[in-house]
Chains A and B, each alone.
Chain A
Amino acid sequence: MIMTMVQAVNQALAQEMERDDRYILLGEDVGRDGGVFRVTEGLVDKFGPERIIDTPLAESAAVGAAIGMTALGLRPIVEIQFMGFIYPAFNQIISHAARLRNRTRGRFPVPLTIRTPYGAGIRALEHHSESTEALFCQIPGLTVVVPSDPADAKGLLIASLRSEDPVIFLEPTRLYRAEKQEVPEALFEVPLGKARIIREGKDVTVIAWGAMIPVARKAAEAARAEGIEAEIVDLRTLSPMDGETIVGSVTKTGRAVVLHEAPKTCGLGAEIAALIGERALLRLKAPVLRVTGPDITVPLPKSEDYYYPGPERLVRAVRELMEY
């Protein structure tokens, strides 16, 4: 069926919850309202208020309670309304969800999925455009996943729900309804920890994820007009990262640029550049470049375009690499 990412996520949740009654979904407005983006629409009718739980407005409690549910064998799914509101739950995510498996030597794993929309480019209010994925990638024990199209959203979410570890599942707000795509009706998994090459090219590797993928595609088309063939790596899982695919591609092209909307300093681009430096330095024909949001707070809608990396900025970086 042709569907949007919102529909694909909804279908993944519905089908997987149907299959296994250990799944409980909790969050703000996830019940009757179906979530502010309607991702959970209809689920409360299917599964009832015992499994689709509208919680009081408290993020730490939603995540903390979900952790406690895992002690009794449940597999909770928490929706945080926007990534900008996940910070009150940091203590629960970092101090407990991420480390309980280790501190109990495997006795109490935390099979918990936290879904949250992230990212700028939708002309939203303050605090609704956050892309702070790097904060989570620094935490051992967490898996951080970002889909870039509807089919991947379904397959990656199902794999996340079935993971025995806590997963931060970041849904690119800008892509929720941006494109429709054929999504298989059956339940399927897109394996975690594996990147994919969504476009092959011999000249330069672009590493991106989530809402930056359409930007990378546009830039690659523009570069082709100039005779440059860009290869695009869609990272899919940000942590633990698929270094092999990145290094494999860069070994082939000899040039790399990382594209992300988060601020540059200590962003994931730094990690990826270091990885390439460690593994493929002598294959490089130019330094690894980063096209990212600047080190500023995401501006309000009137000046959001100053912030958001678009295809033109990526093309400029690609050109720079070719001319180096």
Chain B
Amino acid sequence: MMERFDPFKGERLQVLDEGGRVQTGLDPGLPDEVLRKMYEAMLATRVADAKAFKLQRQGRMGTYPPSLGHEACQVGVASALAADDWIFPYFRDLGVYITLGYPLSDYFHYWMGNEAGLRTPEGLNIYPLAIPVASQILHAVGAGLAANYRKLQIAVAATFGDGATSEGDFHEAMNFAGVFRTPNVFICYNNQFAISVPRSRQTASATIAGKASAYGFRGIQVDGNDVLAVWTAVKEAAEAARRGGGPTLIEAYTYRMGDHTTSDDASRYRAGEEVREWESKDPIRRLQAYLKTKGLWDEGFERGLQEKAAALVEKAVEAAEARPAATVDDVFAFTYAAMPPNLREEMADLKAFLKGGSR
């Protein structure tokens, strides 16, 4: 597929058009169960995301970066990875977490303001989401180097936004990956904005996918609102990576439907008309239409999933809010493997102060 869609010719992989009609010869032929699972994960992502937004407005969650509109990107990426693969996500990746089975209550717990929620359960190969932009791409490259050294047949994915491609770490990561032929799959969610600054201000390149060429590896642009296109490209890139075929850069062309975070107001810098135009490309509705034509979707199925998602989210919120608050020990204990004397003293002092005692 990589060879068939050349970013320098303005070609973009799209499996489902905006009406959910499959393009001739591009249907990956996924089993019904897999398609239904993808749809379910996308739906759950949207429901959980909307809930997180509400919780923030109610003062029950901290600043939160909404994933609205990114469901196809996130679920497409995560669905295409194998259990042994690794992913180095960024802060707007709720669907990745949901698809890979990360406890949603932990995810909420983190955004509610407790690091404990970022402790990946054993057996899940998710590195903690990175907030400093583009910095996580280098970690993925290092993990790729480690995979090569240990002769592991795995792919290592990293996700990031279009703004990340302006950072030095993006360049350094691509360059290392090309030189060392690391088994990486880089997925840029080109959502057209880095907070307020549009994609045109991030790079003068015609596409982001095209940048791969300068680093000596494959790049492909895909429709980021088409989960099957994202899945197809990531699947192929991950397989190539596992076979020793080196890295791939995938540009998933999409749109950030929400604000950058709950502290942002996107109406300050972009037109409502543009947003409405992208509403018609909605990734969930698109997959839904496809499922419908395959006879895999009806009102009852939808209702069932909506109820399931709502229950999942309610349970997660309840569990997250029921978790005990971090203790003084928690915030000191993980700075070093063994607590040094200065931290022990500071911790004892803080505890004494909180108890109303004196030194």
Interface residues of A (CB under 8 A from B): 24, 50-51, 53, 55-56, 58, 60-61, 63-74, 76, 88, 91-92, 95-96, 100-109, 140-141, 143, 163-165, 193, 240-244
Interface size class of B (residues with CB under 8 A): 35 or more
Q: Which of the residues A69, A105, A140 comes within 8 Å of B119, measured between beta carbons?
A: A105
Q: Which of B88, B115, B118, B333 contacts A68 (CB 8 A)?
A: B88
**Residues on the B chain within 8 Å of A100, using CB:** 128
Determine the residue in chain B with the shortest Cβ distance to A141. B335
Contacts of A101 in B (CB 8 A): 334-337
CB distance from B101 to the nearest CB of A (A): 16
Give the shortest distance, in Å, between A85 (CB) and chain B (any CB).
14
User: Which residue of A67, A70, A73, A105 contacts B116 across the interface (Cβ within 8 Å)?
Assistant: A105
For the complex of A and B, list the 10 residue pairs with the smallest distance between their C-beta atoms, beginning with the closest: A68-B142, A64-B138, A65-B142, A240-B340, A68-B139, A61-B172, A72-B146, A164-B337, A68-B143, A102-B334
Chain A residue at minimal CB-CB distance from B110: A103
Given A56-B179, A61-B172, A95-B132, A244 contacting B149 (CB threshold 8 A) = no
Contact A60–B119 (Cβ < 8 Å): no
On chain A, the residues within 8 Å of B147 by CB distance are 72
Overall SS of chain B's interface: helix
Contact pick for B335, options A58, A91, A140, CB 8 Å: A140
Cβ of B19 < 8 Å from any Cβ of A? no
**Distance between Cα atoms of A96 and B63 in the complex (Å):** 21
Which chain B residues border A104 with CB–CB below 8 Å?
115, 118-120, 128
Interface contact B143-A92, CB-CB below 8 Å: no
B137 to chain A, nearest CB (A): 8
Residues of A near B176 (CB, < 8 A) are: 55-56, 58, 61, 65
Partner of B336, one of A60, A74, A240: A240
The distance from the CB of B336 to the nearest CB of chain A, in whole angstroms, is: 5
Known interface pairs A72-B147, A91-B132, A91-B135. Does A67 touch B341 (Cβ–Cβ under 8 Å)?
no
| Residues in B neighbouring A140, C-beta threshold 8 A | 335
**Residue pair A106, B145 in contact (C-beta under 8 Å):** no
Residue of A nearest to B121 (CB): A107
B130 contacts across to A, CB distance below 8 A: 96
The residues in B between 80 and 126 inclusive whose CB is less than 8 angstroms from any CB of A are 86, 88, 115-116, 118-120
- B residues sitting closer than 8 Å to A (CB atoms) are 86, 88, 115-116, 118-120, 127-128, 130, 132, 135, 137-150, 152, 168-169, 172-173, 175-176, 179, 330, 333-337, 340-343
List A contacts of B150 (CB < 8 A).
72
Residues on the A chain within 8 Å of B144, using CB: 68
Nearest chain B CB to A280 CB, angstrom units: 15
Given A60-B169, A243-B341; A103-B118 close (CB under 8 Å): yes
What is the bound-complex CA distance between A302 and B189, given in angstroms? 53
- The answer to whether A64 and B169 touch (CB under 8 A), given A58-B175, A105-B330, is yes
* A240 x B135 contact (CB < 8 A): no
Contact A163:B337 (CB < 8 A) given known A58-B175, A71-B127, A105-B119: yes
- A55 and B179 CA atoms in complex are apart in Å by 9
| Shortest distance between the CB of A144 and any CB in chain B (Å) | 12
Chain B residues positioned under 8 Å from A76 (CB to CB) = 142
Assembly CA distance A68 to B179 (angstroms): 17
Measured between alpha carbons, how far is A50 from B145 in the docked complex, in Å?
Answer: 9
In contact, B149 and A74 (Cβ under 8 angstroms): yes
Contacts A55-B176, A103-B118; A67 near B149 (Cβ below 8 A): no
- What residues on B are CB-neighbors of A91 within 8 Å? 132, 135, 169
B171 nearest in chain A by CB position: A58
22 A-B pairs with CB atoms under 8 Å apart are A60-B138, A60-B169, A64-B139, A65-B139, A65-B142, A65-B176, A67-B142, A68-B146, A72-B143, A72-B150, A74-B146, A76-B142, A91-B132, A96-B135, A101-B335, A107-B119, A141-B336, A165-B336, A165-B337, A193-B341, A240-B340, A240-B342
Min Cβ gap A113→B in Å is 14
Q: Which residues of A contact B336 (CB under 8 A)?
A: 101, 141, 143, 165, 240
Q: Would you call B135 and A64 a contact (CB within 8 A)?
A: yes
Residues in B with CB closer than 8 Å to A95 are 132, 135
Could you say which residues of chain A place their CB within 8 Å of the CB of B127? 68, 71, 108
The winner among A58, A70, A109, A141 for most chain B CB atoms within 10 A is: A58
Q: Which residues of A contact B128 (CB under 8 A)?
A: 100, 103-104, 107-108
A157 to B138 Cα, complex, angstroms: 26
Minimal Cβ-Cβ distance residue in A for B336: A165
Given A67-B139, A74-B146, A91-B135, answer yes or no on A61-B341 (Cβ-Cβ < 8 Å): no
A71-B143, A91-B135, A240-B341 given. 19 additional CB < 8 A pairs?
A: A56-B179, A58-B172, A61-B175, A68-B138, A68-B139, A68-B144, A71-B142, A71-B146, A76-B142, A91-B169, A92-B169, A102-B115, A103-B118, A105-B118, A105-B330, A105-B334, A165-B336, A243-B342, A244-B341
